[in-house]
Structure 1
Amino acid sequence: MDTVTEFTEVKGARKYRRRTVDEKRQIVEETLSSGRSVAEIARSHEVNANQVFDWRKQYLDGRLGVNGRECALLPVTVNEVNDSSVDEAAACPPAAPSPGIIRIQLPRGDVHVEGSVDPDTLRVVIQCLSR
């Protein structure tokens, strides 16, 4: 009797790489600070972009070891205002509140904010530039 033996190649289960909290944080910070898209950064680290978006949410919620919503105190310098402009402003108060201007100098760049800004966006920009 003839017997036929078939060999089939069984592919092993897909192995997922487990990322440490530090690796996740580094990837998320890269998405927040660089001008590259999340998908591009995810591909470069061989991670699904949806996973990176989930890590970003965890990061901002403070679940990756750093509280993304926690405020950090930074040194502030207040420039003197010309006294004549203060007297003029006191004499003629504006009818409606006018938006202010904020200038922040950080080691990695300067931030100039005019008008109203989303506080969450401003916090992320300051965090990224202050590291």
Structure 2
Amino acid sequence: MDTIIRPVTTRAKRGPYRQHSDAFKRAAVARTLVPGASVSLIARELKINTNQLFSWRKRFVTETGDEVKAPSQLLAVTVVDTPPVAAALASGSSGVIVLSVGQAQLRLEGQVDAATLTLLLTRLLP
């Protein structure tokens, strides 16, 4: 019976943990609070983990009592009674629609009334 002896290998020791000063952490957090700033990009630039930067944000923001708010803005909304397809057709767009079902073929050119098109499609398509 042969015995194979191999040397026992251990993992290489991890380097020492990096210690960042509070001033560095606060400066990093301040950079993330600028509107439009990306936390992940800032973390990459500083060579730290994104989750670490988020935890610093939580810590320093709760200490100071400030709130981290995502930039918000209002968007203009227009409510239209007609469906968008009918509005596009009414705006003067023109084109050709060719629909083939079995041996039947339907060709529509120019502006098409949405109600008529709906009626034709419901009759032709099963």
TM bucket normalised to smaller = 0.3 to 0.5
Q: Based on CA coordinates, which of the two structures has the bigger radius of gyration?
A: 2
TM-score, normalised to structure 2, is: 0.42
TM-score, normalised to structure 1, is: 0.41
- For CA contacts below 8 A with separation 6 or more, give which structure has more relative contact order: 1
